[in-house]
Chains A and B, each alone.
Chain A
Amino acid sequence: MSLDVLIRKKRKAGLFKRIGQAVKRDWQLYILLLPAITLIFIFSYLPLYGVQIAFRDYKAVFGITGSQWVGLKNFEDFFNAYYFRRLLSNTFLLNLYALLWGFPVPIIMAILLNQVEWPRFKKFTQTIIYVPHFISTVVMAGILYLFLSPDSGIVNVLIESLGGKPIHFMIEPGWFRTLFIASDVWQHAGWNTILYIAALTGIDPELYEAATIDGATKLQKIRYIDIPHLTPIVVMMLILSCGSLLVSNTDKALLMQTPGNMVKSDIIGVYVYQMGLTKAQFSYTAAIGLFINVINFIMIITVNWISRKLGETSLF
């Protein structure tokens, strides 16, 4: 036997030995991981196996592999569907406007909160602005329906008492995005300050002291200390948010959808839910879901790659 064969044999034996040793040494760690991996397997990896129904004409009686293979037919049906462009643009625009309005607010709030000098007021404010985050989507939608109801809602009662005509907020399509985004900002902007407040807390207090001694005003401190410190994290968050511009907020859109506002509220996630689960078009909607998930995957990987190129930080 030549030398390199011997070495290869030894290496192979070494590999098995190493695995054996690893199991012997770490078996308790594998046991600790087992429940989490099992659950992830059932609820995340088995569906990846089930994704093949997107390429089949799934009939429950035939099972998954027994259903007829139709290739890309379901995808073509979706691309040619009457609602294709509407769904895509509704999903995209809702996210785009939500980003435009929702992204700057927490940053401004964090900077201004950082300048509040009275500690008790600061603490109180911080506690309060996080509260709406803990309200459920159902309650949020419920509050909108109740406050904006044309005959008993407080908003329309006030509009009428000022001589206006009641507005059917939840039915008129023009109001859908505004209400969706405004209520999102109301609920989550406070919570989303956490990241930026944490970044601001990390600034060396000596910088502020030096600036104060040099006679800098608060606005100058914001301009020359806070903003430069926040910029990298803001850029990173902005890039990462662009990765989810086609992700559907199905829960909320489904709650806020009414026959009247379909033109604007029909987004991909809601369509998949309705066609798939209430009309049982499993294969067709699985194809839509797969199509959009692949796009989202590519987008997230891309933005993550970009942010990693730009800075040290990334999602994984």
Chain B
Amino acid sequence: MAYNGVKVRKNIGDSLFDIFNTIFWIIVLIIIIYPLWFVIIASVSDPDAVIAGKVLLWPKDFSLIGYESVFGHKELLGSYANSIYYTIAGTALSVAVTMMAAYALSRNFSGRKFVNFIFVFTMFFSGGLIPQFIMNRRLGLYDTRLLLIIINCVSVWNLMVARTYIKMNVPNELHEAAIIDGATHFRYFIHVVLPLSGTIIAVLCVYYGVARWNDYFTALVYIRDRAKLPLQTILREAVATLTTSTSTDAFFSAYEGDVKGMTEAIRKALVAKYCAIVISTVPAVVLYIFMQNYFVKGVMLGSLKG
């Protein structure tokens, strides 16, 4: 390392520190990556090899029977389609509504403090699950697809982050110039604010999109008709339940007929669970990886100034 031409030698303490730090991070990376890696290799291995503990670092007896079960499972596929629909529609609505409100809150107008209070108050106090359930049922939203799209549509936290972003990144001079040119708030919002807000829109898409994709609880509470259930709620029945050797894996094995088919199905069901985890997790992680460059910048901004 050299500062202003002065060569500074690394002392032994620093070298040791670097070695320990590197080892620390390699261990952390292994702890984070290995469970995910295991899920992937188990999903393409033969069930017997998985049960016998032979799958440790690489797939063993490569097979796709798990994926066959998953892609042959109509209810699971249907819920997958549902989730895609809820996520896209819900996220589009959330981002639009949030950006509109965030822009308005970034400007000065009479009553702004009051409106701000109306939003922020909901972060601190809520009626609770049961009153919300009762009210939504009285509104006729129980067991509707509409509810899954419009509930939790505005996250006040995201709204505040977006407002701060607009305040800091869209220069006020632009607004003054636009007003002199006779632009209205609508025109200014669409033609100036939105084009300058790419980063925050990307952040909102990931936040809202992942939250919707991963939510199982709302549908558990509000949806009765199984044909409307999203992926995560179905997935819960498939993977996140206690299985004992007597009542194994009812979810994936329910479809087979005779006894012979039954044992084969139970065998398959184990890997099918790993496969279901893979196909349900890929969209969220891929979205994150694609968006991460915007993302980390935007989130840092939010965490500092939000």
Interface residues of A (CB under 8 A from B): 18-19, 22, 25-26, 28-30, 32-33, 35-37, 39-40, 42-51, 53-54, 58, 64, 109, 112-113, 115-117, 121, 125-132, 134-139, 141-143, 145-147, 149, 151-152, 154, 157-158, 161, 170-171, 186, 190, 194-195, 197-199, 201-202, 209, 212-213, 215, 217-219, 250-251, 254-255, 258, 269, 272-273, 276-277, 282, 285-286, 289-290, 292-293, 297, 300-301, 315-316
Contacts and interface: CB of A to CB of B under 8 A. Distances in A.
Contacts of B109: 22, 25-26, 29-30
Given A136-B232, A289-B129, A251 B217 contact: yes
Nearest to B301: A198
B98 interface: yes
Contacts of B232: 136, 138
B213 interface: yes
Interface residues of B, number: 106
Interface of B: 1, 3, 6, 8, 11, 13-14, 17-18, 21-22, 24-25, 28-29, 31-33, 35-36, 38-39, 50-53, 55, 96-98, 100-101, 103-105, 107, 109-111, 115, 118-120, 122-136, 138-139, 150-154, 156, 159, 184-186, 189, 210, 213-217, 221, 232, 235-236, 238-243, 245, 270, 273-274, 276-277, 280-281, 284-285, 287-289, 292, 296, 299-300, 303-304
A142 B126 contact: no
Given A194-B300, A282-B134, 15 more contacts: A36-B100, A39-B154, A43-B150, A44-B122, A46-B135, A47-B132, A50-B135, A134-B287, A136-B284, A141-B239, A145-B240, A158-B53, A171-B242, A198-B300, A212-B1
B282 to A, nearest CB: 10
A196 to B, nearest CB: 9
Which 6 pairs of residues, A with B, have the shortest CB-CB distance?
Answer: A289-B128, A47-B127, A142-B239, A50-B131, A157-B53, A136-B214
13 contacts: A22-B109, A26-B107, A28-B184, A29-B185, A47-B128, A121-B22, A134-B288, A139-B280, A171-B242, A186-B35, A194-B299, A202-B304, A290-B128
A134 B284 contact: yes
Contacts of B50: 152, 154
A186 B32 contact: yes
B240 A149 contact: no
Contacts of B277: 139, 142-143, 146
Given A32-B101, A109-B28, A125-B29, A286 B131 contact: yes
A53 B239 contact: no
B132 A154 contact: no
Given A39-B150, A53-B131, A134 B285 contact: yes
A186 B31 contact: yes
A161 B277 CA distance: 26
A56 B293 CA distance: 52
A293 B201 CA distance: 32
Contacts of B55: 154
A272 to B, nearest CB: 6
A115 B20 CA distance: 11
Contacts of B236: 138, 141-142, 255
Interface residue SS majority, chain A: helix
A29 B107 contact: yes
Given A135-B281, A142-B235, A293 B128 contact: yes
Contacts of B111: 22
B243 A285 contact: no
Contacts of B119: 36, 40
Contacts of B241: 145
B134 A58 contact: yes
B151 A43 contact: yes
A37 B118 contact: yes
A227 B25 CA distance: 20
A128 B29 contact: yes
Contact of B216 (A32, A64, A137, A285): A137
Contacts of B288: 130-131, 134
A162 B292 CA distance: 41
A170 B240 CA distance: 11
A138 B243 CA distance: 15
Contact of B131 (A25, A47, A170, A251): A47
B129 A272 contact: yes
Given A47-B127, A212-B1, A125 B115 contact: no
